[in-house]
């Protein structure tokens, strides 16, 4: 592992100054469960100057806002989210999703911000191969073993799937984020935050946060009346592993009629994938057991599996059927 | 590194069995053909490395009412140790201290000394704890020892080498690619009349054929189901390939071959309309005393199956594959396995011991027991621990033989050539049998010594003394007592006895274990996901010395075998067409305790002890049963038969799709 320097700023402003000073050589350091592994994996894009934000007081909280929504500081541990009575009361599906992230040990260290902005877990990138994200001009996953960690929905340069579960769940709640930037606070939707592989500041990443910006807060709107939500995740092993396919679904139901829907797939694309065709289809329909066959038939029509990962699409469709079946059973 | 320019020429290569067996395959053996043949290869089967047959195969198939053919492919696996592969060398003048990892310290020290050209006495070799070695990992570590020692010498500083986990994966010996073909004939009543069995094994760069060229290993794969079949033939064909080298890797060739046998037995049971357990009971080998083919002290194949089926509730199995209604379908599966139950030998005092121990290269295990003036007994053994906690069981033996009711009075010194007497290394289940022989021998001598000293001190006949928790007393006069402490003190502070055991001789192969695994799984027919719900692991163990150690070993067995059954080295995928798989554990996903269910251990003690104590091995005996059991349970649950290892959600989903079963 290369030599690194660690700064411990006490304010967000100070942290931004440090990030600005070192450019893309610097990176935000919180839980370390992604960042330190990037360093250990010797990734080209791993920072040399770590700006440790753990000492910044106002980044670690879960609180209800005036409108009845919830704001979460991005240095909040995943385990704290999992244990939050407020989140359990208002967004049980989010807690369910958080509890499916890696292992209890990792959730004790990982932060919400780290989960949202984590590097992809392509085995070639982490194995030190010279791919797009590692200074090269090739995606090994597109031609090699793409069975688990690569997109079945096409790609641009890097075909690695977006690995986080929190974003997939939060999009289903229309969550938004706040970024501290040198020019002030910037707000984005969760979808805008993680649009898939993008060239940002001369490097490829899955999110749009620039080198001198800090993700500070996630804001979840108040739960909609009649909302029901589910999160499902398939992974090869019981702990640690990332989603082969996952689904966060939120339906707003009145008198068994679906008034609004969010259908978000994880683990199959370079970003958390909103399936708007299914959302549109579901709106106005009566929530019933026979809905799943039709929804599945129109889902993921643009799938473009690679050689070994067509099963991801089958699994994702199975999760859609499963989610709808569970929700109709509640109805 | 960036300054190094590499020029290379791509030579023809054959990394898979298919490539190595092709008519236009590149020549990997200097014109001798890629099929390995040796002096004992059968002349009448020029395309085989080894063969065995019985009866007339054509007649057997002529007598059959049902004939089926099956092909199973095991694509390769690795047993991965928990701990990193690392070692440290430190010189002090011409004295080397080396901290290594492996399965013994004295043989490794000798090899290191030979490589360095120094006398072995110049090396202090230390290895106490390992997170497991599985045979595969120790060799990955040992190949670097001379280099590490040399680097420490030339730099004049201690040198530590730790392989990153991903690089370690490429250093391990593997379970090789194996293709098994069966043609099986059976009568209407289910009785098998003929088995034609062909096994093709990739042996990497080995000059021998691994298990395909040594009858002992190949026969070990045959004896479970051929004894009652009148006509059968087994051909083993070992092919040189450019794949990594196979070798010991947590059981020697058990899973890769047993999974094909257990799948075949399940498929044939269905073909003749019999329950899989009943079909196995019909064909399982049931050795009779005096049968030279099965010279085992015990072989409780029927008990293992029947007791396992009873404990599992096999009678609740749905005989129709995928017959349960609904999305989530549950299924039962069974597999069997047999393996040597720990290589045996002789201990001091037996006639064969002296002859075997005096032979060149004899594998002698030694120990020393030292009673101190504080009343504690120090047990000195050279063998490192590799997660099995074998020393706990050994200490248990010493305690019991010296009359202690717990192990609190036993201290342990181990894994250090400066501290423990010479011993060979462990493999093949030799820790409890052969190190145990040395321990029992020493404990027996120490007990007799103590009683003799007490008899002299108390003026009591030795036969009328009892020993319990450090006190020796007369059985007739409770007032006549002395203590181990007093005896040690009277002898100048300590009383020592040594013991030895040796491997080999007629007894070596007498200890055969047999086991089974019953599993229940649940398949989600909408997503292809499956869960391992329940397992019963009936196991022919002999005497269980310590139940906790035994259970831990069996849990490890199930985790490891689940891994081997459900993931494959991704060598055909990561770099297509090659055997290159250096990417690491993101591609070879190891299970944890979360991936196996709480299991029921069922220990069957069939052994009449004839040598100190009747012990057999634990996990390796039945480890070969698991892959077949899981595959059979998946089939019973959802009707998808997986004949190409590994068992994955993709294959389940593909099978369900082909059936039109999923939503």
Chain A with chain B: Cβ pairs closer than 8 A: 92
Contact list, B589 vs chain A (CB under 8 Å): 236-237, 241
Contact list, B598 vs chain A (CB under 8 Å): none
At residue B417, the pLDDT reads 98
CB spacing of B583 vs A123 below 8 angstroms = yes
Other Cβ atoms less than 10 A from the Cβ of B580: the count is 15
Q: Report the residue from B589, B649, B654 with minimal CB separation from A241.
A: B589
pLDDT for B563-586, tens place per residue? 999 988 766 666 766 656 666 778
B295 touches chain A (CB under 8 A): no
Contact list, A236 vs chain B (CB under 8 Å): 567, 589, 649
pLDDT for B23-77, tens place per residue? 999 999 999 999 999 888 999 999 999 999 999 999 999 999 999 999 999 998 8
B476 touches chain A (CB under 8 A): no
Task: Give the Cα separation of B574 and B15 in Å (integer).
Answer: 14
Per the domain annotation, does B37 fall within a domain? no
**Tens digits of pLDDT across chain A (331 residues):** 789 999 999 999 999 999 999 999 999 999 999 999 999 888 999 999 999 999 998 999 999 999 999 999 999 999 999 999 999 999 999 999 999 999 999 999 999 999 999 999 998 898 888 899 999 999 999 988 898 899 999 999 999 999 999 999 999 999 999 999 999 999 999 999 999 999 999 999 999 999 999 999 999 999 999 999 999 999 988 877 899 999 999 999 999 999 999 999 999 999 999 999 999 999 999 999 889 999 999 999 999 999 999 999 999 999 999 999 999 887 5
pLDDT for B493-522, tens place per residue? 999 999 999 999 888 888 889 999 999 999
Q: How confident is the model at residue B347 (pLDDT cuts 50, 70, 90)?
A: very high
CB spacing of B524 vs A318 below 8 angstroms = yes
Please provide the size of chain A in residues: 331
* Rounded mean pLDDT, B335-351: 90
With CA atoms as reference, the chain A residue closest to B657 would be A314
Contact list, A328 vs chain B (CB under 8 Å): none
Other Cβ atoms less than 10 A from the Cβ of B576: the count is 12
CB spacing of A292 vs B528 below 8 angstroms = no
- Reduce the DSSP state of residue A234 to 3 states and report it: strand
With CA atoms as reference, the chain B residue closest to A312 would be B650
Same domain, B385 and B335: no
Same domain, B372 and B403: yes
At residue B163, the pLDDT reads 83
At residue B132, the pLDDT reads 82
Per the domain annotation, does B34 fall within a domain? no
At residue B663, the pLDDT reads 42
B129 touches chain A (CB under 8 A): no
Task: Give the Cα separation of B507 and B530 in Å (integer).
Answer: 44
Same domain, B223 and B267: yes
B631 has a pLDDT exceeding 80: yes
Per the domain annotation, does B51 fall within a domain? no
Per the domain annotation, does B10 fall within a domain? no
Query: What are the residues facing B90 on neighbouring strands?
Result: B97
Query: What are the residues facing A251 on neighbouring strands?
Result: A228, A261
Which residues 374-413 on chain B approach chain A with CB closer than 8 angstroms?
none
Residue among A314, A316, A329 with most chain B CBs within 10 A, to mutate: A314
Measure in Å the smallest separation between the Cα of B174 and chain A Cα atoms: 20
At residue B79, the pLDDT reads 85
How would you class A2 by CB atoms within 10 Å of its CB: exposed for 0-12, middle for 13-18, buried for 19 or more?
A: exposed
Q: Report the residue from A236, A239, A321 with minimal CB separation from B663.
A: A321
Same domain, B132 and B207: no
* ipTM score above 0.95: no
Q: Report the residue from A145, A238, A321 with minimal CB separation from B594.
A: A238
Q: Are strands A49-52 and A26-29 parallel, antiparallel or unpaired?
A: parallel
Same domain, B409 and B555: no
B45 touches chain A (CB under 8 A): no
CB spacing of A234 vs B649 below 8 angstroms = yes
Q: Report the residue from A143, A145, A311 with minimal CB separation from B587.
A: A145
CB of B629 within 8 A of CB of B548?
no
Per the domain annotation, does B25 fall within a domain? no
With CA atoms as reference, the chain B residue closest to A1 would be B164
Task: Give the Cα separation of B286 and B217 in Å (integer).
Answer: 20
| Residues of A within an 8 Å Cβ radius of B | 121-124, 126-127, 129, 143-147, 149, 234, 236-241, 244-245, 292-293, 296, 308, 311, 314-315, 317-319, 321-322, 325
- Reduce the DSSP state of residue B43 to 3 states and report it: coil
Assign residue B113 the CATH number of its domain.
3.30.365.10
Helices in chain A by DSSP H: which ranges?
12-22, 35-40, 78-83, 85-90, 92-98, 104-109, 112-117, 123-126, 140-143, 166-171, 190-193, 276-282, 291-298, 310-330
Measure in Å the smallest separation between the Cα of A314 and chain B Cα atoms: 7
Same domain, B159 and B295: no
Which residues 560-579 on chain B approach chain A with CB closer than 8 angstroms?
567, 570, 573-576
CB spacing of B653 vs A311 below 8 angstroms = yes
Task: Give the Cα separation of B49 and B234 in Å (integer).
Answer: 11
Same domain, B335 and B356: no
Helices in B501-546 by DSSP H: which ranges?
none
CB spacing of A321 vs B575 below 8 angstroms = no
User: b/e string for A65-92 if b means 16 or more Cβ within 10 A?
Assistant: eeeebbbbbbbbbbbbbbebeebeebbe
Q: How confident is the model at residue B92 (pLDDT cuts 50, 70, 90)?
A: very high
Distances (CA, A) of A275 to A248, A272, A282: 11, 10, 11
DSSP string, B339-398: EESS--EEETTSHHHHHHHHSTT--EEEEEEEEETTS-EEEEE-PPB-SS-HHHHHHHHH
Domain span at residue B468 reads 345-503
Same domain, B321 and B182: yes
B244 has a pLDDT exceeding 90: no
Same domain, B437 and B306: no
Same domain, B293 and B424: no
B655 touches chain A (CB under 8 A): no
Per the domain annotation, does B380 fall within a domain? yes
Per the domain annotation, does B248 fall within a domain? yes
Report DSSP state, residue B525. Answer: T
Contact list, A237 vs chain B (CB under 8 Å): 589-592, 594-595
At residue B662, the pLDDT reads 55
Per the domain annotation, does B642 fall within a domain? yes
Which of B128, B152, B169 terminates a domain? The answer is B169
At residue B661, the pLDDT reads 60
CB spacing of B573 vs A238 below 8 angstroms = no
Same domain, B337 and B355: no
Measure in Å the smallest separation between the Cα of A63 and chain B Cα atoms: 33
What is the token pair recorded at B35? 């099929």
Residue among B166, B586, B653 with most chain A CBs within 10 A, to mutate: B586
At residue B218, the pLDDT reads 66
Give the CB-side neighbour count of residue A111, counting CA atoms within 13 A: 25
Which of B503, B528, B550 terminates a domain? The answer is B503
Contact list, B591 vs chain A (CB under 8 Å): 237-238
At residue A231, the pLDDT reads 97
With CA atoms as reference, the chain A residue closest to B594 would be A238
CB spacing of A123 vs B584 below 8 angstroms = yes
CB spacing of B527 vs A127 below 8 angstroms = no
Measure in Å the smallest separation between the Cα of A238 and chain B Cα atoms: 5
CB spacing of B663 vs A244 below 8 angstroms = no
- Give the number of domains in chain B: 3
At residue B531, the pLDDT reads 94
CB spacing of B650 vs A145 below 8 angstroms = no
Stretch among B82-91, B249-258, B341-350, B548-557 having the lowest mean pLDDT:
B249-258
Cβ-proximal residues to A292 (8 Å cutoff; 6+ apart), any chain: A320, A321, A324, A325, A328, B663
Same domain, B161 and B198: no
B533 touches chain A (CB under 8 A): no
Q: Report the residue from B575, B589, B663 with minimal CB separation from A144.
A: B575
B498 touches chain A (CB under 8 A): no
Stretch among A94-98, B99-103, B290-294 having the lowest mean pLDDT:
B290-294
Which of B453, B471, B503 terminates a domain? The answer is B503
Domains in chain A, CATH or no CATH each: 227-330 (3.30.390.50)
């Amino acid at each position: 592992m290369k030599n690194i320097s660690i700064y411990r700023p006490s304010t967000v402003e100070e942290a931004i100054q440090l990030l600005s000073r070192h450019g893309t050589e610097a990176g935000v350091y919180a839980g370390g469960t992604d960042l330190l592994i990037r360093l250990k994996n010797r990734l080209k894009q791993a920072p040399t100057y770590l700006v440790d934000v753990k000492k910044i007081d106002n980044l670690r909280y879960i609180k209800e806002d005036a409108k009845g929504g919830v704001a979460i500081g991005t240095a909040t541990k995943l385990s704290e989210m999992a244990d939050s009575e407020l989140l359990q009361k208002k967004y049980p599906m989010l807690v369910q999703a958080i509890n499916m992230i890696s292992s209890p040990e990792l959730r004790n260290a990982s932060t919400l911000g780290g989960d949202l902005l984590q590097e992809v877990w392509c085995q070639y990138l982490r194995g030190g191969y010279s791919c797009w994200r590692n200074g090269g001009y090739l995606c090994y996953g597109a031609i090699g073993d793409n069975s688990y960690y690569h997109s079945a929905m096409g790609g641009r340069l890097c075909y690695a799937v977006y690995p986080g579960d929190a974003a997939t769940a939060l999009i289903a709640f229309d969550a938004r984020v706040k970024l501290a930037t040198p020019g002030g606070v910037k707000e984005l939707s969760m979808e805008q935050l993680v649009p898939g592989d993008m060239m940002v500041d001369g490097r490829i990443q899955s999110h749009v946060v620039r080198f001198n910006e800090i993700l500070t807060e996630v804001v979840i709107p108040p739960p909609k009346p009649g909302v029901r939500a589910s999160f499902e995740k398939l992974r090869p092993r019981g702990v640690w592993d990332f989603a082969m396919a996952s689904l966060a679904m939120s339906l707003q139901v009145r008198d068994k009629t679906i008034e609004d829907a969010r259908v978000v797939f994880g683990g199959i694309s370079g970003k958390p994938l909103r399936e708007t065709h299914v959302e549109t289809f579901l709106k106005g329909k009566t929530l019933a057991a026979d809905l799943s066959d039709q929804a599945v038939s129109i889902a993921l029509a643009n799938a473009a599996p690679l050689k070994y990962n067509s099963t991801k699409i089958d699994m994702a469709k199975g999760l859609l059927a499963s989610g709808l079946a569970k929700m109709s059973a509640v109805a | 590194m960036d300054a190094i320019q590499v020029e290379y020429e791509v030579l023809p290569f054959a990394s898979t069995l298919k490539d190595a067996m092709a008519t236009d395959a590149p020549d990997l053996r200097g014109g001798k053909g890629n099929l390995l043949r040796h002096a004992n290869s059968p002349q009448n089967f020029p395309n085989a490395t080894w063969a065995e047959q019985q009866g007339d195969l054509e007649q057997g198939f002529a007598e059959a009412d049902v004939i089926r053919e099956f092909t199973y492919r095991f694509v390769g696996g690795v047993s991965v140790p928990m701990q990193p592969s690392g070692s440290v060398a430190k010189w002090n003048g011409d004295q080397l201290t080396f901290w290594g990892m492996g399965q013994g310290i004295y043989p490794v020290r000798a090899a290191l000394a030979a490589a360095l050209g120094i006398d072995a006495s110049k090396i202090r070799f230390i290895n106490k704890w390992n997170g497991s070695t599985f045979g595969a990992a120790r060799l990955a570590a040992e190949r670097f020892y001379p280099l590490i020692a040399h680097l420490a010498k030339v730099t004049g500083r201690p040198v530590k080498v730790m392989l990153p986990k991903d690089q370690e994966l490429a250093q391990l010996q593997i379970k090789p690619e194996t293709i098994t073909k069966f043609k099986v004939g059976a009568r209407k009543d289910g009785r098998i009349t003929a088995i034609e069995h062909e096994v093709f094994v990739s042996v990497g760069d080995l000059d021998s054929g691994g298990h395909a060229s040594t009858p002992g290993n190949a026969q070990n794969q045959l004896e479970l189901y051929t004894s009652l079949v009148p006509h059968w033939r087994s051909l083993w064909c070992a092919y040189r390939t450019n794949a990594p080298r196979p070798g010991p890797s947590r059981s020697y060739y058990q899973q890769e071959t047993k999974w094909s046998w257990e799948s075949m037995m399940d498929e044939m049971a269905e073909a003749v309309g019999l329950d899989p357990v009943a079909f196995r009971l019909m064909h399982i080998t049931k050795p009779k005393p005096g049968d030279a083919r099965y010279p085992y002290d015990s072989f409780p194949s029927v008990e293992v199956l029947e007791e396992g089926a009873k404990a599992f509730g096999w009678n609740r199995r749905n005989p129709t594959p995928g017959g349960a209604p609904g999305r989530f379908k549950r299924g039962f599966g069974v597999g069997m396995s047999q393996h040597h139950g720990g290589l045996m030998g002789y201990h001091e005092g037996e006639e064969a011991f002296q002859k075997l121990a005096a032979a060149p290269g004899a594998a002698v295990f030694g120990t020393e027991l030292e009673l101190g003036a504080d009343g504690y007994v120090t047990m000195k053994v050279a063998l490192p621990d590799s997660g099995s906690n074998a020393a706990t069981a050994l200490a248990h033996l010493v305690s019991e033989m010296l009359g202690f009711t717990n192990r609190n009075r036993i201290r342990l010194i181990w894994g250090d050539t400066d501290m423990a007497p010479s011993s060979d290394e462990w493999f093949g289940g030799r820790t409890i049998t052969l190190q145990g022989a040395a321990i029992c021998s020493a404990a027996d001598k120490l007990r007799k010594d103590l009683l003799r000293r007490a008899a002299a001190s108390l003026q009591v006949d030795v036969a009328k003394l009892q020993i319990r928790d450090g006190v020796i007393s007369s059985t007739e006069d409770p007032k006549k007592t002395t203590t181990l402490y007093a005896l040690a003190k009277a002898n100048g502070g300590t009383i020592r006895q040594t013991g030895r055991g040796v491997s080999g001789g007629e007894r070596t192969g007498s200890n055969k274990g047999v086991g089974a695994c019953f599993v229940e799984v649940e398949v989600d027919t909408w997503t292809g996901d499956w869960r391992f719900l329940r397992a019963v692991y009936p196991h022919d163990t002999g005497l269980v010395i310590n139940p906790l150690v035994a259970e831990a070993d069996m849990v490890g067995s199930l985790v490891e075998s689940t891994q081997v059954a459900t993931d494959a080295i991704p060598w055909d995928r990561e770099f297509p067409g090659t055997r290159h798989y250096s990417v690491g554990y993101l591609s070879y996903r190891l299970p944890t305790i979360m991936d196996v269910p709480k299991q029921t251990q069922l220990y069957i003690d069939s052994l009449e002890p004839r040598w100190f104590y009747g012990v057999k091995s634990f996990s390796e005996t039945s480890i070969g049963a698991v892959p077949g059991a899981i595959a059979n349970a998946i089939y019973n649950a959802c009707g998808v038969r997986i004949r190409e290892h590994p068992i994955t959600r993709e294959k389940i989903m593909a099978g369900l799709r082909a059936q039109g079963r999923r939503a």
